[in-house]
Amino acid sequence: MYDKELQGIISILKDLVHIPSPSGYTGEAIAYIRRFLEDVGIQTQLLNKGALLATIDGKNNDKQRMLTAHVDTLGAIVKDIKENGRLAIDKIGGYAFHSIEGEYCLIHKSDKSTVSGTIVMHQSSVHVYKDADTAKRNEENIEVRIDAAVHDEKDTEALGIAVGDFISFAPRFEQTPSGFIKSRHLDDKASVALLLQLMKQLAGSKIKLPYTTHFLISNNEEIGFGGNAGIPEKVIEYVAVDMGAIGDGQQTDEFTVSICAKDGSGPYHYGLRTHLVSLCKQESIPYKLDIYPYYSSDASAAIKAGHDLVHGLIGPGIEGSHSMERTHQSSLEATYRLLCAYTYSEMNH
C-alpha cells in the first residue's frame, strides 16, 4: 500500500545525505528542501536562523499543529593548522571521536570550493607508532590528512584552508537487497525525507486536514537550539520527528516506529503520547515505546525556550546513532503510517 511513498522517501533521503549540512552550514540542504516543496505547490518561509517553515491549511485554524525534523548533521570545524600541514578539528554535535576515525571528508573553504581529506589518528601506522592501538582518540590525536601535497602550515594556507572552515563527513549511503539503509546522517535526514514525502502527499490530496498544520525543517538541532523559534502562536501540538536510538536496555529496533516517553529533558506530554500509541493500535502500526537518557529533540528545545505546547517525539529506529547509522525500510514505513494517521486524527485534549 505504501510502496510508492516508501520509494519516494528513500529517493529523497539519498539526495539529502549527499548534501553536506553540518550545523551552521545548512544553506544548500535548506535550498534543496525549498525547491522540492515549491515544486509540489507548497510555499515556504525562510526564518531568520535559516530554518524553513511550510504550512498546509486545515479545517480548524484556531487550534494548530506543528511537525518538525532537522536537516543539520554532525560535522567538524577547522580548529588549527598543524606544523605538518594537517588539520586539528573541533566537533560539531555530540559524537565520540572513534566514530569518525578513518572517514573521508570535505573541507569547505570560504570561496565555496572544497578539498577532500581523511580523518585519521596521528599515530595511524602500526609500523611506526607502538601505541597506535591504545592512543586516546581525542582532539589532540585526531587530525585531517588533506588530499594535497602539503608539508607544513604554509602549504595548507596556500590552498585557501583556514581556521573556521566547516568539515563534512562522507555519507557512504547504501540500500541493501534485504531492505536495510546504511548511511551517516540518517539522524535526522531520514525524518526530513518522511516529512517531505508526507507534505507532497497532502498537497495532492483532496481531503482537508482537520487542523492547519505547520512543518518546520530546523537547522540547529545537533547543537541544542533547533526548533525553538518560528512557532506560530496558534500551535498547540508540536511533534518532533527524529530518530529512535538502539542499544542495551532500549526497546527501539530497526523495524518499528519509536515513540518516546522521556528523554534527557524529561517526560513528553502523556496525553499526546497515549494518543500516538492508540493510533498505532488502531491502524496495526508496529511501534515501540522507549526512554532515551542522553537525548533531546527539537520539541524539548521548544519547551525549554518557554513555549506553551503539548509536545511529542517519534521516529524510525536508528542503529549506531551518531556513528555509522542504519535503519530498515519497514521502520520508515511504520513511521510514515503513524504520521499519516496523526495528521488526520482529532486532538484528544
Catalytic residue IDs: 221
Residue given cell 540542504 in the structure block: 29
How far apart, in whole angstroms, are the C-alpha atoms of residue 325 and residue 96?
A: 14
How far apart, in whole angstroms, are the C-alpha atoms of residue 168 and residue 28?
A: 13
222 is in an annotated binding site: yes
How far apart, in whole angstroms, are the C-alpha atoms of residue 44 and residue 267?
A: 32
Reduced to 3 states (helix: H, G, I; strand: E, B; else coil), residue 110 is coil
Phi and psi at 315, nearest 5°, equal 170, 170
DSSP 271-318: HHHHHHHHHHHHHT--EEEEEETT---HHHHHHHTT---EEEEEEEEE
131 is in an annotated binding site: no
- The amino acid at residue 280 is C
Quick count: other Cβ atoms within 10 Å of Cβ 341? 16
Reduced to 3 states (helix: H, G, I; strand: E, B; else coil), residue 343 is helix
Are the C-beta atoms of 170 and 225 separated by less than 8 Å? no
269 is in an annotated binding site: no
How far apart, in whole angstroms, are the C-alpha atoms of residue 34 and residue 53?
A: 9
151 is in an annotated binding site: no
How far apart, in whole angstroms, are the C-alpha atoms of residue 306 and residue 19?
A: 33
How far apart, in whole angstroms, are the C-alpha atoms of residue 279 and residue 272?
A: 11
- The amino acid at residue 95 is Y
How far apart, in whole angstroms, are the C-alpha atoms of residue 54 and residue 70?
A: 14
70 is in an annotated binding site: yes
Enumerate the known binding-site residues for Zn(2+): 70, 187, 222, 242, 322
